[in-house]
A and B are shown apart, each in its own frame.
Chain A
Amino acid sequence: MLTIYGKTLSSRLFLGTAQYPSPAILADAARASNPAMLTVSLRREMAGGQTGSGFWDVVRELGIDLLPNTAGCHSAKEAITTAQMARELFGTDWIKLEVIGHHDMLQPDVFGLVEAARALSAEGFKVFPYTTTDIGVAERLLEAGCEVLMPWCAPIGSARGPQDVQALKSMRGYFPDVPLVVDAGLGRPSHAMTVLEHGYDAVLLNTAVAGADDPVGMARAFALAVDAGRLAFESGMLEPRDMAVPSTPTFGMAEFS
């Protein structure tokens, strides 16, 4: 079982709630995959209390733990204020901390990220930082109070899958006792399975499910892939070999010539 900030999670899948064809399909996708958490955001209320109300009613009915994010924030100050507002609105001190450094690539601003992580940890937040695979940044996030790290494997929404498996493996190896969640860039269930096989504790994804032809089926596929990847990691996989090794016993073979 995976435990983060003292809470044992029911699943190794975190699911985003954006971009689904309808709130009903989001709800069906969540039920099909049973994620540990659903990520949500805060946005400007424009319609007399009706903005996103259908979505919010559906999410509350699901009864799944929520992980609010600070998506779209481009400075530590913005992210800190957004986190404070999220804590009140959603009733949780868990926060997916995003401080975006570049409009087009949506790369983390790691300087603002560390600054915001330190401030929010001091305020009692349980920070889930959206970061890179940079080991130095990771160390500073841990020093700032984070007890989990969420490196990207490719740009948000790109569906490219792991772009630098070696970097992910290095991070896993360097922080054997820190929960690691791949957040952003996953496109296919095989991508999720790959990072779980490498010992990552969980994945966080959104577009790969919401953008599929059948989001409900894809949510289920990702849930199965995550379970399979974890089971493979725990079961001890073979390392690749350069030469063939016969699987059928060679002892006792007949001689015909």
Chain B
Amino acid sequence: MKLIINGCEAQVSATRLDALIRELDHQDQWVATAVNGTMVPRDRRDAHALKEGDRVEILSPMQGG
């Protein structure tokens, strides 16, 4: 399906958020996720079904002031 991942259109095969994280080769432990503006906690990613056009944000630790 087609998703908007971190602002970019992407064609993916994953249908659940946890599978998407694996498909994109992210370390599950070191990313935080939100779908359509709402945070999805790590322990609920496996239950979160994705649908066409979902906006997914995948954030990781970064430098900050």
Contact = CB atoms under 8 A, between A and B. Distances in A.
Contact of B61 (A46, A52, A77): A52
B37 to A, nearest CB: 6
A233 interface: no
A163 interface: no
Contacts of A26: 63
Contact of A17 (B27, B37, B65): B65
Contacts of A90: 61
Contacts of A49: 25-27, 30-31, 60
A137 interface: no
Interface in B18-39: 24-27, 30-34, 37-39
A82 B61 CA distance: 12
Interface in A77-113: 77, 81-82, 84-86, 88-90
A233 B38 CA distance: 46
Given A46-B6, A88-B41, A71 B32 contact: no
B37 A42 contact: no
Contacts of B6: 44-46
B5 to A, nearest CB: 9
A69 interface: yes
Contacts, number: 101
Given A45-B59, A88-B42, A69 B65 contact: yes
Contacts of A166: none
Q: Is the interface of A mostly helix, strand, loop or mixed?
A: mixed
B61 A48 contact: no
B21 to A, nearest CB: 9
Contact of A44 (B37, B39, B42, B57): B57
Nearest to A90: B61
23 contacts: A16-B65, A19-B65, A26-B63, A40-B61, A42-B59, A42-B61, A43-B60, A43-B62, A44-B58, A45-B26, A45-B60, A49-B25, A49-B30, A51-B60, A52-B60, A55-B61, A56-B60, A81-B38, A84-B39, A88-B42, A90-B61, A156-B65, A207-B65
Interface of A: 16-20, 26, 39-46, 48-49, 51-52, 55-56, 59, 68-69, 71, 77, 81-82, 84-86, 88-90, 156-157, 205-207
Given A16-B63, A42-B32, A49-B30, 11 more contacts: A18-B64, A18-B65, A40-B62, A44-B59, A51-B60, A51-B62, A69-B64, A71-B65, A81-B37, A88-B39, A157-B65
